[in-house]
Structure 1
Amino acid sequence: MLTVFTNEKIQLLCLQFSKRNIISSFNKRWKEAGRNKDVFLINNANWLDSEYSVTIPTSENVPTDPTPSSSTGKRGRPCVLYEDSSESSKRRKNTILLNEYGIDHILDAYLQGLRSIGEDLEAKLVEELRLSDAEKKTVLIKQFRNENIIKKLTDEEALSVFIDLDLTKAQYIYLKNVTDERNCFIFPPYYKIQDMKNTCYPPSSTIEIANTYAKNLRIQDLLDHTAARILSIDSVYKNGLQHLLLYSKWGCDGSSGQSQYRQKLPEESELISDANLFITSFVPIRLIDEESGAIIWQNPVPSSVRFFRPISIEFCKETPEKIKSVVDEIKTQILSLVPSIINKEGVGVQVKHELFLTMIDGKVAQVLTDTLSSSTCTICGATPRQMNDLTKVSERPENENAYQYGLSTLHAWIRCMEMILHISYNLSFQTWSATSEEKQRLKQEKKVQVQKRFREELGLNIDKPRQGTGNSNDGNTARRFFYNAACTAEITGVDIDLIKRLYIILQALSSGVMIDSKKIGIYALETARLFVNKYNWYYMPSSVHKILIHGESVINHFAVLPIGQLSEDAQESRNKDYKKFRLHHARKCSRIATNEDVFHTLLYTSDPYITSIRKPYAKIVKELDEETLNLLNVNELISDPEAP
């Protein structure tokens, strides 16, 4: 590109060029004189007295091409743009601007320039940094450099923390404000938590709320939503899978001793009140590929409340009529179920459903099998006086329809413990019941002695009533009771081999691993014979009889899943959560609002996707006994060594 210079510009350049030549010549002569003034004046007297002429060009003798030829000598340093200048030149030019305009003027011009090109976000950032104190500037610089950066929780992670810490809305907002004040912007605003909760509910049109109940109108909608949430877990869905099968367990249970709030209940009666709660629910257990049988997803804690999905909650007593009506209604809906169609990456995934009615206790099983007495076996109909005659019992016809109700493994621990305790209480007179005053006195004295020793030696409260919630005999107490078999045998006076064998059977049933039904059938029958030989005077309880005599048949009925994964633990544990949710997580302005909040809390705390990112339980894993391992499926233990 040809550059055209004006006459005045050329004259100025010539003067600058001549000036540089004089200075250069002077510096050279000054160095030769050794930087001595007298020597310089003597050696350069003629040069100093001579004239130095400069030719100033005019418009007539200005060449059209300003580029000097090689014969005219070297031109001065050309002017360059700022971005092409060296670092020292940039600093020099910057200093000129700072001295002329000042720092505030330049910063304001910079912010204005950013906004003029549409960089409003960068302008805000620069302005925020400019106005911050030294501490905040340090934090921001570290974040820019990714040093000790604080990562904000996603909405899903924040909800999982909300659930794990059992926070209320007020507590969450307080925690967020405290962290924000310290520049730790970890938690999203609460309205995003609320939005995330809404994704954990089936369509609102399928949920009905009233003064005395809250329920899903159609179990189909709840199953569809649950299947979709399971497939939302990153590690679950795989391309190409289109036909899946979801195994789940369901059941119902009543709970008494609930809190009675100052809320009007027009429908209140002997059967309907706040003091009684009846919950129906289901728990997803395993999702498999229907074609290959491969396990796509496995519930890691099938006995926990973490995947407990509520079907309905009602304020009513657990009566036989109520049990039958609820179970019949759910069974009718199950018969009309259709596969869930889930859209994954543009592909319609079909999920079929199979549900097992095993989350029940002995009382519900008794009602559903029309068994007249709780002490009568629901499978073969044997009475207490008949159960110790093993030969006749084994010949009795079995009601195979009763296999579907499982073994109630949680209550099995408790009933076996209570059997050992009652044998211990009656050892001094060796009859099934204390019919005389003397026997009652001896039984009470032994009971007090046993209770005291268990409290002193194992820290257990044995067979003591609890206000409004039955007694102290629960699953955890029973497990420690059998785990310390030697101490238990010494305190109770019951044969240690019987206690150990019951512990092995209960351990195998609760392991969550497939059991070798033939091996456990033989082992259980040997245990029953040991019981009869040692304590034939004490009638075997129906729950213990069901395990020892019919356990093999029930296990074979559930060939697709381990019997331990079909337990009722989750149902029993959730009854306690209702009190907490109603107290801390529900509005009290009306009964309908209370029921709605409690039902929603039950739903979002059991959402499969949210539960998958929650912090897992800190489990204390106990190794299974060698005898227990012998009763389990060896192939499954090899493929999943952490299964027990």
Structure 2
Amino acid sequence: MVTVLNFVEVLVMDFTSEEKLYSINKIEFFEEWLKHEKDKRCDRLFEFISTKFNFSDITEECEREIKMKLASISSKIATRWVSSGKSKERFLNKNKLWLEGQEIEFCVRSTLPQPSTSTAELSRPGRPRKDFEDASFKTKKRRVEDLVQSRSVGELMTAAEVAARSTGQKNVARVIKDIGENPASASACLNIQQTSAVQRDRPLSNDEALAYYIDSKSTTHSYKQTRKWTMKVGHHVFPSYECIVKAKKGCYPSEEHIVVTQSRAEIELQAILNKTAERLIEAQREVVTSVLPNISPNSSFTLISKWGCDGSSGHSAYKQRFENSEDTDEFLFVYSFVPLRLIDEGNNTIWQNPRPSSTMFCRPIKFIFVKETMEMTKIETNKVLEQINNLEPTSCDLAGSEIYVKHKLLLTMTDGKVCNALTETHSSQKCYICGATPTMMNDEGRHFDSNQDNFGFGLSTLHAWIRSFECFLHISYKLDIKKWQARSSQEKASVKQRSDEIKQRFKHEMGLIVDKPKPGFGSTNDGNTARRFFGNPELSARITGLDVTIIKNFDVLLRTLCSGFEINLVEFNKLCLETRRLYLSLYSWYYMPATVHKLLIHSTEVVKTAIVPIGQLSEEAQEARNKDCRRFREHNTRKCSRLVTNRDLLNMLIITSDPLINSLREVPKKKSNKLCAEVLKLIIAPTIEPRPQIPSRPPQNEEDYLVSESSDCESDDSDIET
């Protein structure tokens, strides 16, 4: 762009200084204005003007006037720039007349060298006078002494605010104004600055660094890279990886209690329970001592935990040799337990798991690379039961006193296959509690005699969601033929056509992919899909052609069971029986699945015998742990041998569920919804709200009854093997 520069020089001489008038085209000024950031724009523009016109020996007063004028012009351009949408082309077109109008003029006064009238003055010793900004604090204090004595603090602060604003330092001016209006805010600002400086300079402890390592799903390499790059910019926050290793070692039980082979890894149950209790007491030391200030020696506590097992498939097959050629690493069978509550002798809750269905506290017992079978399940579970029968209390040190933690384990993290294997129920269509067959389940007048020994397995609430959803899905496929099985080719074609239509509508109207097999394992019918189906009963009923009332009833029953609160068993049982009668009146031709039968017939009895709310006994943590095993095995293990790989996998399962480390992590936030009015009628307000660490008031209104919209598992969905 061709710039127009007019140089007008007016010379006015006296004995001390001279004045010159300079002017610059607005277009050229705008081009330079556009190059610089807002905070440094005035200084850069002054440097540009000084260089362009070769200012020399200008007076301090003149320099201040020029900077004030530059700030004023810059502010006007900024206003026009914003109104033009920050588009250069639009700015030039919109402000063409203004840009081509009167030029910007600067009057510059500079000091002239003068012949000395005194030889003594020329030879006067001493350093040259420094500018105010470059002078020391002592010199500055001396120069402003007259101002301090002749002006009040308010006047000086106002002058500082005006000067800062005139030079474009608006934030500085705002702070000065706030402090002038409210002097007490100066102390608050100073405290914040000092606190932030301390926090900024404080490195993470070893345990905090390990908590970050877990939360960020880091690997050894990614953690080292994070530390290196933060150190490059001067932040020494992360300790070395060797410190992480030290923190990890503090999470492990003694080596003599761990057995690792090519196809399995196992920890003695007593050892992992001892370590869990010790770390839990250490994490809750302040809480325990504050709640129970007068703890006597040999005090006894009880740690209630749930445990179970689950098999999964589709794991990566590594290029590593097995000593036994029949072994494979495609299948994995895992045993775990989850601590739920720590209670004292008076049955007061000292600690409660904030996410009983999350993998945060899912502790490993053992894992085996083997396919889940009925025989394998019985053998390995009996080994764990034998260890449970021989458990001893854990001795822990608390404030110089020795306390004991007893252990109570509930076998509830199971699915239908495990329950059938342990109860020797050889058909998946048969109820393992009462032995009812499909035809018996649909007999409305039949009485079912329950085996109370099997109530201890709980209700497998995650699978209850999924199997109930699949039951309604298959009923909708066969509404045209109204038969449990399609036998003729015509009936099969009808079912196939209707199922394709329903799947397509679920995809387009709800965004759900239903009944689609996953490569290697399971299907897309997971817990979150089932919750969305029951959570929108009107739309689900319109897509499937089912009765909307029965879908709503199942939604209320399942949400009540998963709420984590105590249940009003009388009202709950009424709704179960009412829903069963409705099911048989509408769809008696479709044999009720065993899980649906267990929900409608036996759930009241099972809930009655549970020592904690049935929603806390879910198997979701065990199911979601399958995803962790895949991720840890791929990203957090060494692949030099199967022994090393299995030990690294076991170590990751231990440290990611350590109570002390998890007490430093934030509990993942989940979107929560109010429980509906129908569910609120079926639950009982607890005497202690289910929160971790400290007892608190019971819920007082509906807003206190909040549940997660989905599972509180950290994974998006659970791996369900079918």
TM-score normalised by the chain length of structure 1? 0.75
Judged with a 3 Å threshold, the aligned counterparts in structure 2 of structure 1 residues 606 and 293 are, in CA distance, closer, same or farther, namely same
Q: How many residues align?
A: 499
How much has 1:470 moved relative to structure 2?
A: 1.4
Whether 1:494 and 2:546 are equivalent positions in the alignment is yes
Which residue is equivalent to 1:259? Answer: 316
Q: How does 1:201-216 map to 2 (within 5 A)?
A: 201-216=252-267
Alignment partner of 1:278: what SS? Answer: strand
Distance 1:334 1:236 in 2: 29
1:8-27 equivalences in 2 (<5 Å): none
Q: Does 1:278 align with 2:333?
A: yes
For residue 390 of structure 1, report the CA deviation from its aligned partner: 2.6
Question: Structure 1 residue 198 and structure 2 residue 256: aligned?
Answer: no
Are the equivalent residues in 2 in contact too, given 1:587–1:593 (CA < 8 A)?
yes
Instruction: Give 1:417's aligned amino acid.
Output: F
| Residue 612 of structure 1: how far off its partner (Å) | 1.3
Unaligned segments of structure 1, at least 5 residues: 1-86, 89-141
**Distance in 2, Cα, partners of 1:457 & 1:307:** 37
Query: CA 1:147–1:632 in structure 2 vs 1: closer, same or farther (change >3 Å)?
Result: closer
SS of equivalent residue, structure 1 residue 248: strand
**Change over 3 Å in CA distance of 1:211–1:261 after alignment to 2:** same
- Determine whether 1:180 maps to 2:231: yes
Aligned counterpart, 1:534: 586
Q: 1:255 and 1:490 mapped to 2: Cα distance?
A: 35
1:574 pairs with one of 625, 629, 652: 625
- Bigger shift: residues 469-478 or 515-524: 515-524
Q: Distance in 1 between matches of 2:261 and 2:608?
A: 42
Mapping for residues 19-418 of structure 1, pairs under 5 Å: 146=197, 149-216=200-267, 218-234=268-284, 235-238=286-289, 239-241=293-295, 242-269=299-326, 272-290=327-345, 292-392=346-446, 395-418=447-470
8 Å Cα contact 1:512/1:643 also seen in 2: no
Equivalent position of 2:572 in the other structure: 520
Distance 1:488 1:605 in 2: 38
Work out the CA distance in 1 between the residues paired with 2:560 and 2:234: 52
Deviation track 1:416-473 (CA, whole Å, cap 9, x = no partner) reads 0001101100000101111111111111111111111111111110111110121100
Say if 1:457 and 1:181 are closer, same or farther in 2 by CA, change over 3 A: same
Q: Distance in 2 between matches of 1:442 and 1:514?
A: 45
Output the amino acid matched with 2:519: Q
Q: Does the 8 A contact of 1:143 with 1:149 survive in 2? A: no
Q: Give the alignment of 1:433-512 within 5 angstroms.
A: 433-512=485-564
Q: Distance in 1 between matches of 2:655 and 2:251?
A: 5
Moved over 6 A (4+): 142-145
Structure 1 contact 513–643 (Cα < 8 Å) conserved: no
Partners of 1:380 and 1:399 within 8 A in 2: yes
Question: Aligned partners of 1:469, 1:348: CA distance in 2, in Å?
Answer: 48
The 1:145–1:608 alpha-carbon spacing in structure 2 relative to 1, beyond 3 Å, is: closer
Which of 625, 638, 657 is residue 587 of structure 1 equivalent to?
638
Which SS does the other structure have where 1:293 is aligned? coil
* Letter matched to residue 391 of structure 2: L
CA-based RMSD: 1.8
- Residues 301 and 343 in structure 2, CA contact (< 8 A), matched pair in contact too: yes
Distance in structure 1 (CA, Å) of the matches to 2:354 and 2:482: 45
- 1:143/1:294 Cα in 2 relative to 1: closer, same or farther (>3 Å)? closer
Structure 2 residue identity aligned to 1:371 = T
Name the amino acid aligned to 1:188: P
Distance 2:319 2:510 in 1: 42
Tell me the amino acid that sits aligned with residue 424 of structure 1.
S
Contact 1:214–1:313 at 8 Å: present in 2 too?
A: yes
* TM-fit CA distance, 1:608: 0.8
Q: Conserved in 2, the CA contact under 8 Å of 1:514 and 1:633?
A: yes
TM-aligned CA deviation for residue 232 of structure 1:
1.0
2:279 match: secondary structure: helix
Could you tell me how far apart the structure 1 residues matched to 2:488 and 2:590 are? 17
Q: Can you give the 5+ residue segments of structure 2 that lack an aligned partner in the other structure?
A: 1-136, 139-192, 690-696, 708-722
Q: Report the secondary structure of 1:564's partner residue.
A: helix
Mapped partners of 1:527, 1:376: distance in 2 = 20
Aligned partner of 1:605 in structure 2 is 656
Q: Letter of the aligned partner of 2:313 in structure 1?
A: S
Structure 1 distance, partners of 2:199, 2:426, is 68
Query: 3-state SS of the aligned residue for 1:524?
Result: helix
Residue 602 of structure 1 aligns with an amino acid whose one-letter code is L
Q: Which residue is equivalent to 2:698? A: 639
Q: State the distance in 1 between where 2:195 and 2:417 align.
A: 64
Q: CA deviation at 1:385?
A: 0.8
Distance (Å, rounded) in 2 between the aligned partners of 1:283 and 1:370: 26
Q: CA 1:363 to 1:349, structure 2 compared with 1: closer, same or farther past 3 Å?
A: same
In structure 2, C-alpha distance between the alignment counterparts of 1:480 and 1:627, rounded to whole Å = 18
Deviation at 1:515, TM superposition (A): 1.3
Equivalent residue letter for 2:614: I
Residue-by-residue CA offset, 1:571-599 (whole Å, 9 max, x unaligned): 11011111111111000000000000000
**Residue identity opposite 1:569 in structure 2:** E
Distance in 2, Cα, partners of 1:194 & 1:282: 25
Secondary structure at the residue paired with 2:288? coil
- 1:497-552 CA-to-partner distances (Å, cap 9, x unmatched) read 00000000000111111112222111111100110011111111110000100001
Q: Distance in 1 between matches of 2:199 and 2:343?
A: 42
SS of equivalent residue, structure 2 residue 413? coil
Structure 2: distance between partners of 1:240 and 1:221: 29
Contact 1:230 1:236 in 2 (8 A): no
Aligned partner of 2:675: which letter? L
Task: Tell me which amino acid in the other structure corresponds to 1:546.
Answer: K
**Distance in 1 between residues matched to 2:557 and 2:202, nearest whole Å:** 48
* TM-superposed deviation, 1:635: 4.3
1:421 aligned partner? 473
1:341 counterpart SS class: strand
Structure-2 change in CA distance of 1:145 and 1:172 (3 Å):
closer
Partner of 1:136: none
Deviation at 1:149, TM superposition (A): 3.6
In our comparison, the structure showing a higher alpha carbon Rg is 1
Q: Which amino acid aligns with 2:367?
A: I
**Distance apart, 1:642 and its partner CA:** 5.2
Alpha-carbon offset, residue 155 of structure 1:
1.5
Q: Superposed, which structure 2 residues align to 1:556-567 within 5 Å?
A: 556-558=608-610, 560-567=611-618
Aligned-pair CA distance for 1:275: 0.5
Q: What is the SS of the residue equivalent to 1:552?
A: helix
Give 1:146 deviation, angstroms. 3.9
Shift of 1:313: 0.8
1:267 shift after superposition:
1.5
Taking the aligned partners of 1:260 and 1:144, their CA distance within structure 2 comes to 52
